[in-house]
Amino acid sequence: TIVAFAGPSGGGKSTIFQLLERFYQPTSGEIKVGDYNIDNVSLSSWRRQIGFVSQDSAIMAGTIRENLTYGLEETYTDEQLWHVLHLAYAEQFVSEMPQKLDTQVGERGVKVSGGQRQRLAIARAFLRDPKILMLDEATASLDSESEAMVQRALEKLMENRTTLVIAHRLSTVENADLIVVMDKGQIIEQGTHTELLDKHGVYYQLHQRNFEEN
């Protein structure tokens, strides 16, 4: 299932993600998966279930290999790493690098482009094989060619997972199973893209504004 969070800036979309990642606790109520309170799961175990790809995915100084396996306890073969790079449409550019998997990417990933950085982040998420995938508009700051490639990689990554998306551009979430519209920390509308347009409410207004800007 794909659930998207939309709404004006400052509406609470990122706060929802931070609560789900347990960066802080809800002051009231509880967060459940099915009937199970996530507080009853150890923090490390809970976070192992989550894959996160943001607008500006972090890349550390170090090698491609170190960036792919960062934070993971298992040992991975080169074959496994090349496989996730292939799934993320990153295999070709890594294979053209001087040391391939052992190429240094530089401080904050200066030796790779924005689109390449996003595809490495997606390859890292494939390696984690998370049950819950969280996307904070991972294509927002890319040129159209990179965006198309990253979008294809994301669609592959989203298969058979619970996916939560923060939407800045509504065109990216029109096919979500559920769109939750937030404003000032409240859920004010929810439904499919078609249902929300028919309501002529906040989502409709956001959609019209997006359409005019594009």
Q: What is the DSSP letter of 104?
A: B
Q: Which residues of 44-76 are buried (b: 16+ CB within 10 A; e: fewer)?
A: eebbbebbbbbbebebeeebbbebbbeeeeeee
What was the pLDDT predicted at 142? 66
* Residue-wise pLDDT tens digits, 64-108: 888 888 877 788 888 999 988 988 888 888 888 888 888 887 766
Under 8 Å between Cβ of 133 and 122: no
Average pLDDT over residues 18-38: 89
Between 144 and 49, where is the model more confident?
49
> What is the per-residue pLDDT for 5?
92
**Residue the block writes with tokens 């295999």:** 91
pTM of the shown model: 0.81
pLDDT one-digit tens code per residue, 135-183: 887 766 666 677 777 778 788 888 888 899 887 777 667 888 999 999 8
pLDDT in the model for residue 181:
92
What is the DSSP secondary structure assignment for residue 91, as one 8-state letter? H
How confident is the model at residue 178, as a pLDDT?
A: 94
Averaged pLDDT score across all residues of the chain: 83
Q: What pLDDT score does 118 carry?
A: 81
CB count in 10 Å sphere of residue 137: 17
